[in-house]
């Protein structure tokens, strides 16, 4: 592989707070040089030169919450389509949930997913292991063996770990193997019959509601157990002001607590389900406008550590049904960057801070060597244009499933190239058709 120089770029590296014009030199799949003063004589050194045209060059995105659907539900997503969707969205590292069929609750299944991912070889894939056998919330998995085999954390995926004794043991054992426990924070008895956020919108639509307090109730219980065990705890896809306030206080107290949210929780509110739009049915449900604003504020002040796509492919049979019967979840890999950049365009956050929540934030939580522009690191890169106006078109998604609540909506931000270990795995200019014809005019 020839060395490659990415020149004339706006370099963004949250790990070092670098935001400056410069270049990156890649040799043997790794970053050889980075910074404003990088220059190579391409003719003399046989280097491929890519002029970035002033676009942003950042570490490849790290998505810490993705459902693979393979093994078991390949009609919704395969490892091939998953990785293709990831690189189209600028994502080079994934952490995958264990709720496949069969469930990833033993070493052989964990290693199967790792081998499957490596065979595709377009992104880094780090699987979570199930926290409890069969995701039943009763008996712990072999956490030590699973951690040795590569599990980056333990979670029951889209199910809350409801039993306090089980959660206490999980936190204690997970701390011994240096892994976090990731919780779906929702008190299950309050959420069992609901499908929308409890309030005026759900009432007007005749839908059973899930009260916002179901989230903070579970988080506050878990925080009490963190105080007891001193374990590492991560709350996934937080969506309410009360939950964010509880996590903010826990961090001030010094507890080992982190959390993430997903773009739909800061870009949409409960009004998105009007007309019974099942593509906007998610778990936890879309919340009030006040909660949406609280999520954005939590990201801005650093209470929320990461933005994850919460990618959950569903087929049409799962969504083209009455709202209460629809499966929750949205595809999010290919819209992760563009929707997150909305926080920059509306003045909520600086660009470097948004990129931090998409790179070093999740990497730090999971202990990964990813999400940074450092000499010697793997050259996992994303080249993007943050101001470019686009219209999201789910029919063009590489994901096998198209269940996006953002389909047809305008956004700003376009991935131009994704590089994995020095190799280009997505290039907009090489996509079928003229990419310029697919872009909205700058004034749209």
One-letter-per-residue 3-state SS of 74-105? CCCCCHHHHHHHHHHCCEEEEEECCCCCCCCC
- Ordered alpha helix ranges (H), 95-177: 107-120, 143-148, 164-176
Residue with tokens 């796509």: 309
Query: Which value, in Å, is the radius of gyration of the alpha carbons in the chain?
Result: 21
Residue 324 CB contacts under 8 Å (≥ 6 apart), including other chains: 195, 207, 208
> In angstroms, what CA-CA distances link 115 with 119, 123, 128, 364?
6, 13, 14, 24
Residue with tokens 């306090």: 164
- The catalytically annotated residue of 13, 310, 353, 380 is 310
Determine whether 353 is an active site residue.
no
Q: Are strands 91-96 and 48-51 parallel, antiparallel or unpaired?
A: unpaired
Residue 56 CB contacts under 8 Å (≥ 6 apart), including other chains: 9, 10, 12, 351, 383, 384, 385, 386
Task: Name the residues annotated as catalytic.
Answer: 310
């Amino acid at each position: 592989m020839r060395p490659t120089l990415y020149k004339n770029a706006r370099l963004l590296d949250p790990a070092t707070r670098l935001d400056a014009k410069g270049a990156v030199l890649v040799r043997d799949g790794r970053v050889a040089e980075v910074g404003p003063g990088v220059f190579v004589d391409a003719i003399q050194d046989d280097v491929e030169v890519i002029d970035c045209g002033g676009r942003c060059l950042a570490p490849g995105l790290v998505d810490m919450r993705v459902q693979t659907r393979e093994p078991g539900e390949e009609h919704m997503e395969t490892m091939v389509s998953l990785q293709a969707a990831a690189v189209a969205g600028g994502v080079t590292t994934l952490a995958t949930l264990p709720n496949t069929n069969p469930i990833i609750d033993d070493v052989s299944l964990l290693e199967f997913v790792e081998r499957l991912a490596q065979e595709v070889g377009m992104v880094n894939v780090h699987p979570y292991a199930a926290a409890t056998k069969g995701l039943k919330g009763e008996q712990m998995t072999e956490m030590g063996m699973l951690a040795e085999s590569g599990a980056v954390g333990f979670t029951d995926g889209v199910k809350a770990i409801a039993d306090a004794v089980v959660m206490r043991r999980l936190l204690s054992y997970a701390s011994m193997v240096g892994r976090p426990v990731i919780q779906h924070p929702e008190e299950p008895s309050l959420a069992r019959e609901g499908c929308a956020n409890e309030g005026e919108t759900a009432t007007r639509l005749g839908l059973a509601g899930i009260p916002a307090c179901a989230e903070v109730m579970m988080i506050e219980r878990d925080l009490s157990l963190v105080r007891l065990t001193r374990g590492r705890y991560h709350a996934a896809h937080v969506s309410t002001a009360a939950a964010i306030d509880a996590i903010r206080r826990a961090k001030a107290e010094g507890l080992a607590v982190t959390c993430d949210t997903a773009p739909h929780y800061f870009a949409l509110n409960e009004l998105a389900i009007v007309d019974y739009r099942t593509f906007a049915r998610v778990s936890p449900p879309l919340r009030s406008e006040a909660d949406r604003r609280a999520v954005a504020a939590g990201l801005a002040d650093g209470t929320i550590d990461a933005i994850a796509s919460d990618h959950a492919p569903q087929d049409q049979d799962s969504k083209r049904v009455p709202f209460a019967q629809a499966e929750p979840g949205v595809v999010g890999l290919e819209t992760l960057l563009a929707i997150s950049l909305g926080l920059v365009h509306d003045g909520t956050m600086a660009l470097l801070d948004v990129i931090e929540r998409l790179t070093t934030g999740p990497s730090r939580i999971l202990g990964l060597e990813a999400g940074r522009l450092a000499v010697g690191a793997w050259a996992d890169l994303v080249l993007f244009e943050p101001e470019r106006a686009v219209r999201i078109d789910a029919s063009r998604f590489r994901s096998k499933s198209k269940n996006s609540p953002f389909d047809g909506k305008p956004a700003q931000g376009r991935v131009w190239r994704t590089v994995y270990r020095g190799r280009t795995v997505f290039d907009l200019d090489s996509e079928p058709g003229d990419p310029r014809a697919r872009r909205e005019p700058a004034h749209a």
